[in-house]
Amino acid sequence: MTRADIASCPCGSAKVFAACCEPYISGAQVAPTAEALMRSRYTAFATLAADYLLASWHPDTRPTRVRLDEDQRWIGLSIKDTEAGGDNDSEGIVEFVARFKVNGRGHRLHERSRFEKIDGRWYYLNGDHL
């Protein structure tokens, strides 16, 4: 899926892509909350936006590169819980379930992710698979 091919945002917000995650992925805006960053990172996986995934990864835990599988099709995101991660917070936690298919076979990623705000910008720090 390319970013130009989508109307509704893959993150499941019910908003159009251009008014949801696209401004964060393009760099036009900064995700205002840990949950917004989580949603935009899911969308980045779905749209193969590796540069955004690296840029939104915390400098202390960022890998040197991200390998994205073009055969992996992301099919749904469900936010289960959030803790902090708002405007006045410096840390936040988002628990989510992301569903995807590879070669027609369904998979789930259930993670409790930690985020940290540095100089007004949220970053994915790390997560625990549940």
Give the DSSP per-residue string, 35-70.
Answer: HHHHHHHHHHHHTT-HHHHHHTB-TTT--S-----T
- What is the predicted pLDDT for the residue at 3? 52
The domain spans of the chain are: 3-129
Confidence of residue 1 (pLDDT cuts 50, 70, 90): very low
Query: 3-129, what's its fold?
Result: Nuclear Transport Factor 2; Chain: A, (3.10.450)
pLDDT in tens, 34-80: 999 999 999 999 999 999 999 999 999 999 999 999 899 999 999 99
Q: How far, in Å, CA of 58 to CA of 51, rounded?
A: 13
Rg (CA), the chain: 14
